[in-house]
Amino acid sequence: MVVMSCFGNIIAVTIGQPRMLREVARQGLLPYPRFFASTKPFGTPLAPVGLKYLLTVLAIVALPAQDAFNFLVDVVSYPNQVFHAATAIGLWLLRRRRMLAGFAPSKYRASVLVISPYFLSMLFLLVMPWIPPEDGHSDASFWYATYCVVGLGVLAASALLIKGN
């Protein structure tokens, strides 16, 4: 069952994520959008599939085997937490701008009692990885905050690439 579950996940990711990349390219948010949005020659987004393949091979070859899984999970989660914190800040900014513009409050509203602890938890999860763990308690054989730097680097590179388009 585990093997079948893993196989199903591989198929879903192989089909789903390249199509998402293709749609992002169609919106002009990837470099070389015409190349990544193309479905030639087989009617499938071959360039995004190739990109996912290269990134996967790079992760398998470049990361130490014992640290690969933890590192990949951490690299994915850290930028995700940045977006979650930005979402909470965005809610507060939108509310303030609506109030200053004289608009009525939205009828779909999350309580400040929900947003504040949510934002504080995201802030905690963004700050704590930078605090060194006790000796022998790190989950990686390399610098403990490498995934934070890589995650922020990917966000910065993405912003630069999008701005360059």
pLDDT for the residue numbered 57: 84
DSSP state of 31: S
pTM of the model: 0.62
**How confident is the model over 47-57, as pLDDT tens digits?**
888 888 888 78
Domain ranges within the chain, ordered by starting residue: 2-62, 66-164
pLDDT for the residue numbered 39: 82
φ/ψ region of 142 (left if φ > 0, alpha if ψ in -120 to 50, else beta) reads beta
Q: Could you tell me the pLDDT band of residue 67, with boundaries at 50, 70 and 90?
A: confident
